[in-house]
A and B are shown apart, each in its own frame.
Chain A
Amino acid sequence: MRIIRSNRHKYCADGSFMKEFVLDSEVTPEFLDFLKRFGTLEMLPGLGEGFYKFEKKDCFSIKGFVNESGFEVRFKKEVMDFTSDFLYSLLYYYQNGKPDFKTLSRREEALIERVKTRLYGSSS
Chain B
Amino acid sequence: MCNFLGEDSPEHLIFSANATDSLNTLIHGFVASQKEKIHVLSTTLEHNSVLRPLHYLTKQDKISVDYVPFHDSIVNPEKITEAVTSKTQLVVMNHGSNVLGSVQDIRAVCEYLHDKGIFSIVDGSQTAGHILIDLSSINPDAFVFTGHKALFGMPGIGGFYIRDPEQVIPVRMGGTGSDSGNLDQPVDLPERYEIGTHNYPGIASLIAGVNFIRATGMKKMKEKAEQQTRFMIDELSAESAITIYNHKPDLPIIALNISGLDNDDVGFILARKDNILVRTGLHCAPFVHQAIDNGAGCVRISLSWFTTDEECRIATDAIKEIAHHANHTI
Contacts and interface: CB of A to CB of B under 8 A. Distances in A.
Given A13-B281, A13-B282, A48 B329 contact: no
Interface stretch (B7-15, B125-133, B268-276): B268-276
Nearest to A51: B269
A65 B271 CA distance: 12
B314 interface: no
A43 interface: yes
B192 to A, nearest CB: 36
Contacts of B297: 13
B265 A53 contact: yes
Contacts of A12: 264, 281
A15 B264 CA distance: 14
A42 interface: yes
B71 interface: no
Interface residues of B, number: 17
Interface stretch (B60-68, B134-142, B317-325): B317-325
Interface in A27-46: 36, 41-46
B328 interface: yes
A46 B272 contact: no
A56 interface: no
B325 A44 contact: yes
Contacts, number: 46
B228 to A, nearest CB: 25
Given A51-B265, A53-B265, A63-B265, A45 B272 contact: no
Interface string B275-288: 00000011000000
Given A51-B269, A63-B268, A44 B281 contact: no
Contacts of B322: 44, 47
B330 A47 contact: no
Q: Is the interface of A mostly helix, strand, loop or mixed?
A: strand
Given A13-B282, A65-B273, A45 B268 contact: no
A47 B269 contact: yes
Interface in B277-330: 281-282, 297, 321-322, 324-326, 328-330
Contacts of A43: 328-330
A12 to B, nearest CB: 8
A43 B326 CA distance: 9
13 contacts: A12-B264, A12-B281, A13-B281, A42-B329, A43-B328, A43-B329, A44-B269, A44-B322, A44-B326, A45-B328, A46-B324, A48-B272, A51-B268
Interface of A: 12-13, 36, 41-48, 51, 53, 63-65, 68, 72
Given A43-B329, A44-B322, A47-B325, 19 more contacts: A13-B282, A36-B330, A42-B329, A43-B330, A44-B269, A44-B328, A45-B330, A46-B321, A46-B325, A46-B328, A47-B273, A47-B321, A48-B269, A48-B273, A51-B265, A51-B268, A51-B273, A53-B265, A68-B272
